Amino acid sequence: MIIHNEQNQTFTLLTRHTMYQMKVDRYQVLLHAYYGPPADVDSDLSDFIQCADYSFSPNPNEAGSDRTYSLDVMPQEYSTCGVGDFRLPSIELELPNGSRSADLRYLRYELQKGKYSLPGLPAFYGGEKDAETLIIYLEDAAAQVTVALYYGVFEEFDLITRAVRVLNHGSETVRLCRCASLCLDFLRSDMDFVTFNGHHLMERCLDRAPLRSGIQSVGSIRGASSHQHNPFVILCDQDADEDRGLCYGAMLLYSGNFEAAAECSQFENSRFVMGIHPYHFCWTLEPDEAFTAPEAALICSPGGFTQMSQQFHRAIRKCLLCDPYGPGQQKPVLINNWEATYFDFTADKLIDIAKEAAALGIGLSVMDDGWFGRRDDDNSGLGDWWVNETKLPGGLKDLTERIHALGMTFGIWMEPEMVNEDSDLYRAHPDWALHIPGRAPARGRGQLVLDFSRKDIRDYIYSQLKSVLSSAPVSYIKWDMNRSLTDVWSAALPAQRQGEVYHRYVLGVYDLLERLRKDYPHILIEGCCGGGGRFDGGMLYYTPQIWCSDDSDAIDRLRIQYGTSFAYPTCTMGAHVSAVPNEQNGRVTPL
């Protein structure tokens, strides 16, 4: 439920167990007043904000001689920069005169039934019975920039989503150097910061520490959300546990560079900001152009981690996943040939494996890397998405017929974002790989990254994938990504717009996945990035199942999947049983 109180200029968002309130103050600054267990709906909770004359905290011009009002201490709904607030900014504008500032004041609001959508970006979805939308418009009059703050309220799940759209309505070019999706100010700092960190083969391990003076942050500048840090964090009472204590879970539905930062100020309050990482990000806004930041999702739980996790799980299952297997449908157990054969396989080998699997009741046979181009090792073939009929005589059609005859369905591995230098594609179009002119590019797993910020490249790759998928009945795709982004420069953009490449790349990945989902709605796509390097809410919107980790050791998986479960439901986790001794760590664990 969304309530606007005209008299005291408050906006109150109500869910089953929580309440969120904002206040337009006397200077038209949008303050964050409250977020927590339900309180009096008619009250103005901004009364808890204490104003005083603080040294070196400047006062806005319109405050006149009132030294007790400063943006440096006020809890703001979307923090500004360059005009008196020295804490973490949510937005940074570079104006035509070279100055960098943003001073946002309340303009107007809109209420809508149902949940807003974000074209080209993943987002929770909901009809008029499931959700409501509040849009609050702020304006920087001097910069002639409008910022629209979007709020989606899912009462049943205690879920509040946030998104931001920045519009240049002036006559000159403005550059957007930072644009967070979420800002949350607290009148306290005695909280723990819970993050989910790790590395390849050990992702999303819980890490908990008290907030301390200054800034703490996690993030990624690898071009993907990363194995190292996850775009889901928790702020909570220091004594919170599974069943008690106040906790706030924040998830960014984004699969690229991100930052989640918390700052404790000198005044014993704290601010949390989450969004696209400002590293190498700068978006040019010509007159009448807009930029939309990815969605963030918030759940406040007065009843500890369990309540928060269960609400995230319910919301993700019902309002985020687009799963070809509907509620109550069992996904098939699958057999993957990778550790059995690596690149050295033939159709007959695959059928031998499938026969053994079918006898055990396994329903899906997945052919992994090595079926395309001239791909016999890591260093060749990526980008050439045509079936190697030396390995697979008769192509996919013949193989799938033999698989189906065993009572199984068929799946296939792909890595569309990558290219090898030893490939027909690279020889024809070396400029299609991300590279910096005059600098030899770095390789990862012997491969380069295609510039998915370019539509012409995406169109070419998709035409190849479509040709393969239309040649035989495929019911599953494993979409992999086996290296981080380096040498990030696009031949399709001028020098002053190179700060857009990282984000345009992610939008390109989403575009290709959306096309696949539209043209092949029956195919289950499982996301993978060297295992769990891109396990985030953004990818879940397109790939309702994600390979949890390349570490398939049963003992290690307890820790990996425990951390993952704080935000992501079990049905989203791809979990394999592998032969022992385990390939990753050599451990022998009885089945």
Instruction: Please indicate whether residue 480 is annotated as part of the active site.
Output: yes
Strand 270-276 with 174-186, pairing: antiparallel
Q: What is the DSSP letter of 582?
A: -
Report the alpha-carbon distance of residue 532 to residue 549 in Å, rounded: 5
Q: To which residue do tokens 């990558």 refer?
A: 418
Residue 433 φ/ψ, nearest 5 degrees: -90, 145
Helix (H, G, I), strand (E, B) or coil at 121: coil
Residues 6+ apart with CB under 8 A from 568: 232, 312, 313, 316, 535, 540
CA distances from 82 to 73, 91, 272, 335, 551 (A): 14, 10, 18, 56, 46
Q: How many CB atoms lie within 10 A of CB 63?
A: 16
**Which of the following is catalytic: 550, 551, 553, 556?**
550
Q: What is the 3-state secondary structure (H, E, C) of 389-406?
A: CCCCCCHHHHHHHHHHHC
Report the alpha-carbon distance of residue 554 to residue 557 in Å, rounded: 5
Residue 110 φ/ψ, nearest 5 degrees: -135, 145
Report the alpha-carbon distance of residue 146 to residue 421 in Å, rounded: 45
Q: What is the DSSP letter of 431?
A: G
Are residues 212 and 131 in contact, defined by beta-carbon separation less than 8 angstroms? no
Report the alpha-carbon distance of residue 40 to residue 487 in Å, rounded: 54
List the one residue out of 408, 264, 445 whose CA is nearest residue 333.
Answer: 408
List the one residue out of 128, 110, 118 whose CA is nearest residue 162.
Answer: 118
Helix and strand counts by DSSP (H, E) for the chain: 9, 28
Report the alpha-carbon distance of residue 399 to residue 401 in Å, rounded: 5
Dig out the tokens for 80 from the structure.
């500004």
CA 169, 170, 173, 177 dihedral sign is: negative
**Which of the following is catalytic: 480, 536, 551, 556?**
480
Report the alpha-carbon distance of residue 277 to residue 499 in Å, rounded: 11
Helix (H, G, I), strand (E, B) or coil at 444: strand
Are residues 237 and 191 in contact, defined by beta-carbon separation less than 8 angstroms? yes
Report the alpha-carbon distance of residue 391 to residue 405 in Å, rounded: 20
Report the alpha-carbon distance of residue 182 to residue 298 in Å, rounded: 9
Residue 409 φ/ψ, nearest 5 degrees: -100, 175
Instruction: Give the helix/strand (H/E) hosting 386.
Output: none
List the one residue out of 561, 563, 565, 587 whose CA is nearest residue 575.
Answer: 561
Report the alpha-carbon distance of residue 189 to residue 213 in Å, rounded: 9
Give percent helix, percent strand, percent coil of the chain, each to the nearest 5: 20, 30, 45
Are residues 450 and 420 in contact, defined by beta-carbon separation less than 8 angstroms? no
Report the alpha-carbon distance of residue 546 to residue 564 in Å, rounded: 11
Q: Which residues are catalytic?
A: 480, 550
